[in-house]
Chains A and B, each alone.
Chain A
Amino acid sequence: MKNAKLQKWSGKLIVRVVLLLFTAVVLLPIIWTFYTSFKTSSEFLTNAWALPAGLHWDNYKNALEKGNMLAYFWNSAYITLIALVFVVFLAVPTAYVTSRFPFRFSKGLSILFMAGLFVSQNYIVIPIFLSLNKIQNFLNQYVMFQHLEITNNLTVLALIYAVCELPFTIYLLTGFFRTIPHDYEDAAQIDGCGYFGTLFRIIVPMAKPAMITVIMFNFMSFWNEYIMATTILKEQKWTLPVGLANLMEQQKFATDWGAMFAGMVLVMIPTMILYSLVQNKLTEGISMGGLKG
């Protein structure tokens, strides 16, 4: 009996060692980034693992001011928020109608949005970029549109972000809406609740878990998006990932490692805060069947 217990205990110990090794593989690079962001330029030339002598906050000042990361932070926040509003207000009504109101085109619409799952932002970015330029050139011919800039416009890009995430969002919400019993809507209608009232006061609150999943996944993809932003936006409008990639390019010539590490930390922190708040829901969302790339 005792022997079996010992065996089980030692088995668990081996498993723990293996798991802790991988924990180190995941965490050490991140911990390293954090403390390295406080090193002075000369400290960068000594042993890479060494801790900094003190907290060199100037790196952060350089990243925020010279690297312009503060402005990029606000651009990222703006584009993420606006895109979230767009995606929710476009996807929720559409998913609701296609999943619960059989009409002539409802099947066709579902198939159309499903097909969108196979389209990647990475190649449609080129036609979108060219079309935006074409429209801009057209608009520039008219005095009244002189100040209207659509090629380098955060709101336009937010709309494109939202549309690119529509297929996935509608897919996830449709699956959820189907599981709500029809009785709720019937009751609401007898009580004199209109269609919109039913949707926003009855269905949306009931779909809270699905809404949270959708908002989390979309937040991540909007906040982290790079290819579209780097193609469509110009320097003052850049988002954090574009700014960080640029900080790395600059670093090659200016060798300001400190600012670049500080920049990395600045990009990581908001995601880390969000992750600590929602990580349980996030992993649950994946188990729920949310495949996402």
Chain B
Amino acid sequence: MLSAVKAKDGKPRALRSRKKQRAGFIAVCTVPTVILFTVFMLLPTADVFYMSLFRMSSLSLNKEFIGLQNFQILFRDEKFWQAFRNNLFFIVFVTAVTMTVSLFFAGLLAQTELIEKPFYRTVFFFPNVLSLVVIGVLFVQIYDPTMGILTSTLKTIHSEGLIHAWLGEKSTVRWCISAAMIWQAVGYYMVMYMAGMDGIPKDLYEVANIEGMGKFRQFFSITLPLMWEIIRVTIVFFIISTINMSFVFVKVMTPTGGPSGQAEVLLTYMYKQAFTNSNFGYAMAVGVFVFLFSFVLAIISNRLTAKEVIEY
């Protein structure tokens, strides 16, 4: 401000050059970013939509415009619907368990003042920094029928009846993959919920204690309502990240999509259509579906959870 005034008083030329400098600075700062962002993000995204309207048979890329035919085939494709159902399973189950467990632990840590609180936070968060591939590989070993610790533990406690082929059986494969996903996500959400709980004024709990309100009641009638905004954000976040994470986990843990496609998810199906069948147009139709589906789901859950924000 000051410099602009000074320039106006005496030297209009300096003002003009200053203006030019400003414009130049803005250009240097934004133009390279905008170009690269367009090339590697906007155009590919547009390409996803564009390609979904074509039949593209192989890498040679002979393409033929077929309108919405890919989508018509898609909606009659039994394998696509199976992948969709599996994805819904992961979204609902993984979200429900991760949220309950992480809220539970965050509540425990917030309400009891333990000296070793930072220790638990550090440990629980740790899986989140590991590569999803490492976690996938690790859980494949845990479930291994010969040298895995799960089967081995069940044998040690003489519960042979509970032993399954884990990732090789239709009835268990999705639960086993979910466990890996929950294991990696709990700490992250716990840390986030803990931050939210730290923001709640302590005197509310003191009053509740004096009134003789139990810890569980306090959790449900003070903590949860006051954290509702954070929980809402995380639900939308859960949906998007589960769709993306299930891709890596399924790809690493059951490269074929599990026994009779029982673990196939939308994005692994897309990837297979593209790189195994060279069916790029069709794959992009699945991509468009995933994009719209996550968007719509995010909006719906946002509407459903809308509530008046409680001020405190």
Say if A and B assemble together: yes
Instruction: Report B148-177 CB contacts with A as 1/0, cut-off 8 Å.
Output: 110111001000000000000000000000
Contact B125 A48 (CB under 8 A): no
Question: What is the interface size of chain B, counting residues whose CB is below 8 A from a CB of the partner?
Answer: 96
Task: Determine whether B83 belongs to the interface, using a CB cutoff of 8 Å to chain A.
Answer: no
Q: Using a CB-CB cutoff of 8 Å, which residues 192-223 of chain B contact chain A?
A: 192, 194-195, 198
* A184 close to chain B: CB less than 8 A: no
- Residues 172-184 of chain A, each 1 if its beta carbon lies under 8 Å from chain B, else 0: 0000000000100
Whether B37 contacts A116 by the Cβ 8 Å rule is yes
Cβ of A91 under 8 Å from chain B: yes
Q: In the assembly, what is the distance between CA of A240 and CA of B131, in Å?
A: 10
How far apart are B232's CB and chain A's nearest CB, in angstroms? Answer: 12
Q: How far does the alpha carbon of A248 sit from the alpha carbon of B267 in the complex, in Å?
A: 22
Q: At the interface, yes or no: A22 with Cβ under 8 Å from chain B?
A: yes
Q: Contact at B131–A223, with CB atoms within 8 Å? A: yes
Q: What string of 1s and 0s marks CB contacts (under 8 Å) between B70-111 and chain A?
A: 000000000000000000000000000000000001001100
Interface flags, A233-255, vs B, CB<8A=1, else 0:
00000001110110011000000
What's the Cα separation between A268 and B125 when bound, in Å? 15
Q: B137 on the interface (CB 8 Å rule)?
A: yes
**Is there contact, CB below 8 Å, between A19 and B108?**
yes
The smallest beta-carbon distance between B111 and chain A, in angstroms, is 9
Which B residues contact A (CB, under 8 angstroms)?
1-3, 21-23, 25-26, 28-30, 32-34, 36-37, 39-45, 47-48, 51, 59, 61, 105, 108-109, 112, 114, 118, 120-127, 129-134, 136-142, 146-149, 151-153, 156, 183, 187-188, 191-192, 194-195, 198, 233, 237, 240-241, 243-245, 247-248, 251-252, 255, 267, 270-271, 274-275, 280, 283-284, 287, 290-291, 294-295
Closest 6 CB pairs of A and B: A287-B195, A93-B29, A224-B131, A48-B152, A127-B47, A123-B287
Some 17 contacts from A to B, beta carbons below 8 A apart, are A15-B112, A19-B120, A44-B146, A97-B26, A101-B26, A126-B274, A130-B47, A189-B3, A190-B3, A195-B21, A196-B25, A224-B132, A240-B131, A245-B252, A271-B129, A274-B129, A287-B198
Q: CB within 8 Å of B: which residues of A?
A: 11-12, 15-16, 18-19, 22-23, 25-30, 32-33, 36, 44-45, 47-49, 90-91, 93-94, 96-98, 101, 103, 105, 109, 112-113, 116, 118-120, 122-124, 126-128, 130-131, 133-134, 159-160, 162-164, 166-167, 182, 186, 189-190, 194-196, 220, 223-224, 226-227, 231, 240-242, 244-245, 248-249, 257, 260-261, 264, 267-268, 271, 274-275, 279-280, 282-283, 286-287, 291, 293
